[in-house]
Amino acid sequence: MYKNSKKAIIALEDGRVFEGYSFAADGERCGEVVFNTSLSGYQEILTDPSYKGQMVVMTYPLIGNYGVNHDDTESGEISVESFIVKEYSSIASNWRSEKTLADYLKENGIIGIEDIDTRALTRHIRTQGAMKAVVSTMDTDVKRLVEKARASKGLVGVDMVREVTCGEQFKLNEGGEFKVAVLDCGVKSNILRHLVSRNCELTVYPADTSAETVLGDDPDGIFLSNGPGDPAGAPYVYENVKKMLGKKPVFGICLGHQMLGLAMEGETYKLKFGHHGGNQPVKDLSTGKVSITAQNHGFCVDVDSLKSKNVKITHINLNDNTVEGMESAELKFFSVQFHPEAGPGPNDAVYLFDRFIDMMRKDP
């Protein structure tokens, strides 16, 4: 256990309580508690904007052993509300390490808790579903904490995109061959790296930018990024996406995929405990090939709501048969629910970025 640690409590809205010890900042946070099955990559997980409003439980038992560095962040700040592990390693041993995980969390005011029975907590979430919770190192009144959890706002119907999108548009790799408009709903840095490495000039727009503005800049293609929370909570995004369809090649990832579903007048729904981790099997229905993918989402496109639309389902999740990809040749888009850029996770699906490049190259 981390030295000088302080007692910490996780209180779930259904009354279940877990006790552990703090290894980072003190305080109290509300959020939705979810679990992540990745074996490594905790720094990328911490800085993934898709986790805004959520507390992350790592199922791998030892976290922190290789420290953190300035290169492996996926955004400019930590997005998780708190970080929950079985055992924190105060010894960081890696040639790239610049500081310990505890110091990194403290600098950013993030609560880190260890000595939690993460297996029991994970099993509870799998059985009962992801739920609202409070993490506190300040208050030991369990009853009061449970009531705070129940009274917190949760994620359903809430616009989390505005909390993570960029403040103003900016460019990357000016002079690149393909001009790509990136609608930033919480884009990960590794997505931008993959596009830049394929010689794309990127113009990154705030999520509430109008379709007229984006199309008026005459991009070769439009990329819809990942992001946090309930897609239905940000109608301004999918209403603008609807106006872009059929005009330029469009590629959507994760929340961008869900926004395309809503733009097609389909529906989304909340998964019981979501998909969070680097080991999700996804089948490509056109080839039969199975890829192991990185995922981070709590909502999903309802396949039945798209049956009357001009949309082809391209991928499914082999764990629960949920929609993992779709396309429309007529409307010039394709999308996936998973993260082909990984960071962290396997690289089985990075070919999808090349498919986007081919679409732009062939578009008249």
Residue 253 bridge partners (DSSP): 336
Residue whose C-alpha is closest to residue 141's, from 312, 17, 313, 295: 17
Helices (H), the chain: 42-46, 101-107, 118-128, 142-151, 189-197, 211-216, 235-244, 255-263, 351-362
At 364 the pLDDT is 79
The active-site residue, picked from 124, 194, 275, 339, is 339
Integer Cα distance of 357 and 350 in angstroms: 12
| Mean pLDDT, range 222-226, rounded to an integer | 98
- Stated as kind and residue range, the H or E segment containing 120 is helix 118-128
CB atoms near residue 212 (< 10 Å):
11
Active-site residue (options: 185, 200, 254, 300): 254
Q: Which helix (H) or strand (E) holds 123?
A: helix 118-128
Residue 14 corresponds to which amino acid?
Answer: D
Does the annotation mark 275 as catalytic? no
The pLDDT of residue 310 is 85
Burial of 40 (0-12, 13-18, 19+ CB in 10 A): middle
The pLDDT of residue 178: 98
**Structural contact between residues 109 and 27, judged by C-beta atoms closer than 8 angstroms:** yes
Respond yes or no: is residue 30 known to be catalytic: no
**Domains by residue range for the chain, with CATH:** 6-151 (3.50.30.20), 161-362 (3.40.50.880)
pLDDT band at 73 (very low <50, low <70, confident <90, very high): very high
In the chain, the percentage of residues whose pLDDT exceeds 70 is 99
- pLDDT score at 309: 84
How many residues make up the chain in this entry? 364
C-alpha pair distances (Å), 281 with each of 1, 130, 324, 351: 35, 21, 10, 16
3-state DSSP: the chain helix, strand, coil percent, rounded to 5? 25, 30, 45
pLDDT at 1: 53
Give residue 61's pLDDT band: very low, low, confident or very high (50, 70, 90): very high
**Is 341 annotated in the active site?**
yes
Mean pLDDT of 114-138: 97
| Mean pLDDT lowest among 19-28, 82-91, 300-309 | 300-309
- Residue of 81, 87, 327, 341 with catalytic role: 341
pTM over 0.85: yes
Report DSSP letters for 203-226, one per residue.
EEEETT--HHHHHHT--SEEEE--
The pair of three-digit structure tokens given for residue 98, joined into one six-digit string:
């610049």
Residues 126, 248: Cα–Cα separation, whole Å: 40
Residue 4 pLDDT exceeds 60:
no
Residue 258 has pLDDT above 90, yes or no: yes
A 10 A CB-CB count for 3 gives 6
Q: Report the largest interatomic distance among the alpha carbons of the chain, rounded to a whole angstrom.
A: 64
- Identify the CA nearest to 224 among candidates 198, 199, 195: 195
Whether the bond into 228 is cis, omega within 30 of 0:
no
